[in-house]
A and B are shown apart, each in its own frame.
Chain A
Amino acid sequence: MSADGFIQVKDLDLVYMKEGKPFPVIKGLNVNIAKGEFAVLVGPSDSGKTCLLRLIAGFEDPTSGEIFVDGKSVKGPDPSRGYVFQDMVLFPWMTVHQNASFGPKSRGLSEKEVKEVTKKWLDKVGLTKFQEKYLHELSGGMQQRVGFARVMANDPEVLLCDDPLGQLDWVSRETLSNEVLQVWHETGRTVVYVTQAIEEAVYLAQKIYIFAPRPGKIAQILEVKLPEKRWEDKDLRFKKEYYHYVEQLREIITEQASKSKEPVEKGPCSP
């Protein structure tokens, strides 16, 4: 395969046991993601993209194969691989501030450091005024900002995002997509992002990795050659060059999906 990446996945297999029968989810997956890349994973439903993300995060162990991040093998969850969940999975008994500072605190940083880094990230996501509020008092978009802030407060090397904007309304999605891009651009971290919305995939990605139907592997890689600072062009979303990629992606996914029957049962990594 191609040159060594920052994130390397080698011959990955994931087989679940469901009611005594083996249920293969991922088979022979190989992928290399470069340092600082914004990689987006798309594909038919339950084709293993969320599973792959969870494997990179270390929440699950593969049946066979290996995953390396920055040369080190993945052996369990770690603050260096931050994960943003699809339905946020925040701690509702804590205030916004407590949620955001949980990571730094747990890692044993000094009180001063905890305060500083929490303030920095809450400011960046625009939640300073809402620090003492409880989560149920915030809108979905604001809650997900907390989701990002708490992960970024740990200064991760890799940011893993499982369709984080999927529950939000369209305009919030557009706003937050821009914010995600800006944070990525500023920090230069590697991002692996799963989404169902092809418009969003094209808008965010440098490279789109398209999955084949379950059991999954990467079927195709689509490079998106749009300007780097995409948030600066307010009309980019309505431009033909952007939608040209959207149409291309649409065709690829539809073609991939038609290769096998749509899986009827839901996959094991669905929430």
Chain B
Amino acid sequence: MTNVIEATKLKKLFRPDDPSRLLAIDGFDFEMKEGEFVTLIGPTGCGKTTFLRIVAGFEDIQGGQILFKGKPVEAPDAKRGVIFQDIRLFPWMTVRDNILFGVKSRGIKAEEQKQKLKETMELMQLDNEALNMYPDRLSTGMRQRIGVARVLANSPDIILLDEPLNSLDWVTRDYIQTTFLKLWHETKKPILFVTHNIPEAVFVAQKVVVMTARPGKTKSVVNVDLPERRWELRRDNDHYLDLVKTTSRLVEDELSKAREVEKVVGY
């Protein structure tokens, strides 16, 4: 099976015009195969979000190589869908327009557009009432569902999630987790999920990649051998709790190596 993402000796500076400044990532290697659901965790500032942004095409690199399906990543693309932590819907567009934005921009026919809208609405449990509303009036949970809907409507080859569930209420969080687990189970679409929530990271993934403190490298990989129909699993499961413990210890160990870092100007 080919690697859907392959990063070799990635290097990125915070401020490219000043080489004496900090390295965000240094010598980072990462491999992800087709059909995998991988979570990426690590202490704050380790570069996990930076890496995701590099894969998405938002950032350039100063060393090493980043390949998506064998080709170098140059710019953002509908094939690499991103779901943001701060959601970022377009406030001047209605919910319907937000969901169909990507699809319209790529010139998909009206019939197909309608179909996509219907599918994603069903999937994210949105009903017609919300379609004509503007994002500012909606609850955060509702907005993130739309954030997910607009990416799924674009049928991406990989879904990149940048700490998308952070400020959400439990019910929405649970729902979106379940949605992605089921989606992955059916379509085996590759999903890369960056989070700092350790129980969540273990719960959704097959593989958890733990990064070292800044500048980030891979510290270790935890294989999550829990049942595939993960959404049916109770969280007071012994094996699950064991894995959470192992992963937590790894992250805590890494944190104790990095001193209490003051806030870094960057991301």
Contact = CB atoms under 8 A, between A and B. Distances in A.
B39 to A, nearest CB: 12
A167 B197 CA distance: 12
Contacts of A94: none
A169 B45 CA distance: 10
Given A139-B44, A240-B241, A171 B251 contact: yes
A114 interface: no
A253 interface: yes
Interface string A237-251: 111100110110010
A264 B261 contact: no
B43 A171 contact: yes
Interface in A227-271: 235, 237-240, 243-244, 246-247, 250, 253-254, 257, 262-267, 270
B3 interface: no
A217 B174 CA distance: 22
A42 B170 CA distance: 9
A171 B238 CA distance: 22
A89 B188 CA distance: 43
A195 B138 CA distance: 20
A238 B171 contact: no
Contacts of A58: none
Contacts of A45: 139-141, 168-169, 171-172
A262 B142 contact: yes
Contacts of A198: 170
A203 to B, nearest CB: 12
A171 B248 CA distance: 9
A45 B248 CA distance: 28
A219 interface: no
Nearest to A166: B167
- Residue picked from A166, A199, A238, A263, most chain B C-beta under 10 Å: A238
A139 B169 contact: no
Interface residues of B, number: 41
Interface string A189-213: 0000000111100000000000000
B235 A250 contact: yes
B105 to A, nearest CB: 26
Contact of A265 (B138, B168, B242): B138
A246 B236 contact: yes
B255 interface: yes
B130 interface: yes
A137 B133 CA distance: 39
B44 A172 contact: yes
A250 to B, nearest CB: 7
Contacts of A44: 169, 171
A170 interface: yes
A142 B248 CA distance: 21
A137 B130 CA distance: 41
A254 B174 contact: yes
Contacts of A167: 166-167
A222 B262 CA distance: 38
B132 to A, nearest CB: 11
B252 interface: yes
Contacts of B141: 45, 262
A46 interface: yes
Nearest to A265: B137
Contacts of B140: 45, 266, 270
Given A171-B255, A239-B241, A264-B129, A250 B262 contact: no
Contacts of B245: 235, 238
B109 interface: no
16 contacts: A42-B170, A139-B260, A169-B44, A169-B196, A196-B173, A197-B170, A238-B244, A238-B245, A240-B241, A247-B234, A262-B172, A265-B133, A265-B138, A265-B139, A266-B138, A270-B140
Given A42-B170, A196-B169, 14 more contacts: A45-B168, A138-B263, A142-B260, A166-B167, A167-B166, A167-B167, A171-B252, A196-B168, A197-B170, A235-B245, A238-B245, A240-B241, A246-B236, A270-B139
